[in-house]
Amino acid sequence: MEVDAQFVRDVLEFGGKTLKKCYQCATCSVVCPQSPEENPFPRKEMIWAQWGLKDKLLKDGDIWLCHQCNDCSEYCPRGAKPGEVLAALRAKVIQEFAFPSFFAKILLKPAGIVIYFAIPILLTLLYLAIFNPEIPSGEIVIGNFIPHLHIELAGFAVGGWALLVAAIGAFRFWTAINSEVSKVYEYKLEENAELNVVKSSPRFIECLFWSVIDVLKHSRFAECGTSRYRYFAHLMIFWGFIILGVATLGDIVYLYGLGVEELALPLSDPVKILGNIGAVLLILGSGWAIVARFSDERIGYGTYFDWIFLSTIFAVGVTGIAIEALRYAGSVAAYYAYLIHLILVFTLIAYAPYSKFAHVIYRTLAYTWAKSTGREPKK
């Protein structure tokens, strides 16, 4: 067996600094509302991480079933904060599976913040140098500053890149977690269904479908005890994003379906309303998460990995609203806010496969895997 001492140091550095305190009492595995009966987590993950068993952890879907409810950390007799350690492990897994891995390694370090912002800023400067857009005068119309088409094209490019990288990660991840499956269960695919051990039946699409339902409903998150706020905060952020996504779609429909020329929509416009609701949810959700993280040291402050993601979301929301407010106020500052907003949106999307954002994919896949292998907690 190869013990990877570097891996242990990495986990410690990635926020699992309490890792070594664990003395394997297994309180965590029992108090965890997400943990299945058979080979429950996170006790085993703790010792694997203590021993630097990187391979095992990369193949371990369980760490993605953890929602950092922190019931484990709350009851942990040693202050080993399994919730935090698993978060660190997830960061480590994202880093390992992301393509190219070295880029992830750079981005995930606090010093990487330079690169994190340098890329979009340089790209923006490049754009400004090439197209030299001028601050329009008169009524504030964003589209007059930078054409929507440019934004859309850039969006597609960045999104495409992100999707491609994410797909590589997802593929690697899916292969890894399925390589270790020893038992396969028949799982009756409806909500709160009983678990049946009958025969091998990994019906991927069905499992994925129900997993997405779970995700939409946050039904697993809802089980959380200690950090129940996370369920609400996450639900707000999550639906904030979805609503914003729908609003963006609405924008596109306006532009290309209905032939609307400019998106300086009035506040009463349904798409605008939707957009505002989304933005508010995003700001409130991420704001709540930020405040809550400060308040309970017993369960952990989180790490750079958490903070950069959370702050970016918050900043995207705030700048989005700021543009709007400035626009209505008729201030040209709206254009500058817009640039900042674009930079932030870029970091959110382009780095998604390297940042905490990647959990969208990993966790959904883990759900799917859990369903297909019966790793669901007993109700």
Partner 1 sequence: MAGEILVIGGGIAGLTAAIEAAETGYDVILVEKNPYLGGRVSQLNKYFPKLCPPFCGLEIFFKRMKSTPKLKYFTNAEVLEIRGEEGNFNVKVKLKPRYVNENCTACGACREVCPVEAPDDYNFGLKTKKAIDIPSIMAMPFRYYIDDRYCNKCGECVSACKYNAINLEEEEKIIDLNVASIIVATGWKPYDATKLDNLGYGKFKNVITNMEMERLASLNGPTGGKIQTMDGRDIESIAFVQCAGSRDENHLPYCSAVCCLASLKQATYVREQYPDAKIYIFYIDIRAFGRYEDFFAKVKADENIELIKGKVAKVEEKDGKLVVTAEDTLTGEKEQREVDMVVLATGMQPAIEPIPGIEVDEYGFVKPKPGIIPAGVAAMPMDVASANESATGAALKAIQVARR
Partner 2 sequence: MEKVGVYICSGCDIDKLDIERLKNVVKEEFGIDAKVHPHLCSKEGVELIKSDLSELDAVVIAACSPRVKTAVFTFDDKYVERANLREGVVWSHDIDEHAQELAEDYLRIAITKAQKAEKPEPYLEEVSKDILVVGGGVTGLTAALEIAKAGYKTYLVEKEPELGGWVAKFYKTLPTSPPYTQIEEPVVFKLIEEVKNNENIEVYTSATIDSISGQPGMFDVRLIQDDNKIDFRVGSIVVATGWKPYDATKLEELGYGKYADVITNLELEEMAKNGKIVRKSDGSEAKNVVFIQCAGQRDENHLPYCSSVCCLVSLKQAKYVRELSNGNAFIIYKDMRTPGLWEDFYKEMQQDEGIFLTKGEIKDIREEGGKMVVEVTNTLLGEDIAIKADLVVLATGMVSTLKGLYTVKEEFPDEKTVPYKHIAEPHPIKSEEDIEVIKQAGHILNLQYRQGPELPTLKYGFPDSNYICFPYESRRLGIYAAGAVRAPMEIASCIDDAKGAALKAIQAVELVAEGKTTFPRTGDIDFPQFFLQRCTQCKRCTEECPFGALDEDEKGTPMPNPLRCRRCGICFGACPERIISFKTYSIDQMASAIKSIYVPDPNWDEGAEDKFRFIVFACENDALPALDMAALNGIKYSPLVRVIPVRCLGSVNTVFIADALSKGIDGILLIGCKYGEDYQCHFIRGSELANRRMENVAETLERLMLEPERVQVVEVSISDWDKIPEIIDNFVNQIMEIGANPYKGF
Interface positions with partner 2 (CB under 8 A): 1-3, 5, 8-9, 12, 20-21, 23-24, 39, 44, 47-48, 50-53, 78
Smallest separation, CB 274 to partner 1 (Å): 43
* Token pair in block for residue 319: 């700048």
Q: Which of partner 1, partner 2, none binds 50 (CB below 5-8 Å, type-dependent)?
A: partner 2
Applying CB under 8 A, among 3, 5, 6, 24 the residue interacting with partner 1 is 24
Q: Is 27 near partner 1 (CB under 8 A)?
A: yes
| Other Cβ atoms closer than 10 A to 56 | 16
* Token pair in block for residue 169: 């990660």
Smallest separation, CB 196 to partner 2 (Å): 24
232 vs 234: CA distance, rounded Å? 5
Applying CB under 8 A, among 7, 11, 22, 29 the residue interacting with partner 1 is 29
Distance from the first to the final alpha carbon of the chain: 37
Q: Is 78 near partner 1 (CB under 8 A)?
A: yes
Q: Which of partner 1, partner 2, none binds 1 (CB below 5-8 Å, type-dependent)?
A: partner 2
Q: Which is nearer to partner 2, 80 or 315 (CB)?
A: 80
Contacts (Cβ under 8 Å, ≥6 apart) of 145: 133, 134, 135, 136, 335, 338
Q: Which is nearer to partner 1, 42 or 120 (CB)?
A: 42
Smallest separation, CB 31 to partner 1 (Å): 5
User: Peptide bond before 100: cis, by omega within 30 degrees of 0?
Assistant: yes
Residue among 310, 323, 149 nearest 240 (CA): 310
352 vs 309: CA distance, rounded Å? 9
* Token pair in block for residue 262: 């400019």
Burial of 366 (0-12, 13-18, 19+ CB in 10 A): buried
CA-based radius of gyration for the chain: 22
Q: Which of partner 2, partner 1, none binds 20 (CB below 5-8 Å, type-dependent)?
A: partner 2
Smallest separation, CB 333 to partner 1 (Å): 50
CB contact at 8 A, 300 and 70: yes
80 vs 16: CA distance, rounded Å? 9
The SS3 assignment for 375 reads coil
Which of these ranges, 77-85, 123-131, 239-247, 320-328, lies near partner 1 under the rule CB under 8 A?
Answer: 77-85
Size of the site for partner 1 (CB under 8 A): 21
User: Peptide bond before 42: cis, by omega within 30 degrees of 0?
Assistant: yes
Q: Is 180 near partner 1 (CB under 8 A)?
A: no
Applying CB under 8 A, among 11, 19, 22, 31 the residue interacting with partner 1 is 31
Q: Which is nearer to partner 2, 21 or 203 (CB)?
A: 21
* Token pair in block for residue 97: 């599976």
Smallest separation, CB 20 to partner 2 (Å): 5
198 vs 212: CA distance, rounded Å? 24
Residue 257 DSSP symbol: I
Smallest separation, CB 21 to partner 2 (Å): 7
Q: Which of partner 2, partner 1, none binds 205 (CB below 5-8 Å, type-dependent)?
A: none
* Token pair in block for residue 226: 């200690």
Q: Is 37 near partner 1 (CB under 8 A)?
A: yes
Applying CB under 8 A, among 4, 13, 38, 186 the residue interacting with partner 1 is 38
Q: Which is nearer to partner 1, 28 or 316 (CB)?
A: 28
Residue 141 DSSP symbol: -
User: Peptide bond before 270: cis, by omega within 30 degrees of 0?
Assistant: no
Q: Which of partner 1, partner 2, none binds 176 (CB below 5-8 Å, type-dependent)?
A: none
Smallest separation, CB 327 to partner 1 (Å): 52
Q: Which of partner 1, partner 2, none binds 258 (CB below 5-8 Å, type-dependent)?
A: none
Tell me which residues touch partner 1 (CB under 8 A).
23-31, 35, 37-40, 43-44, 75-79
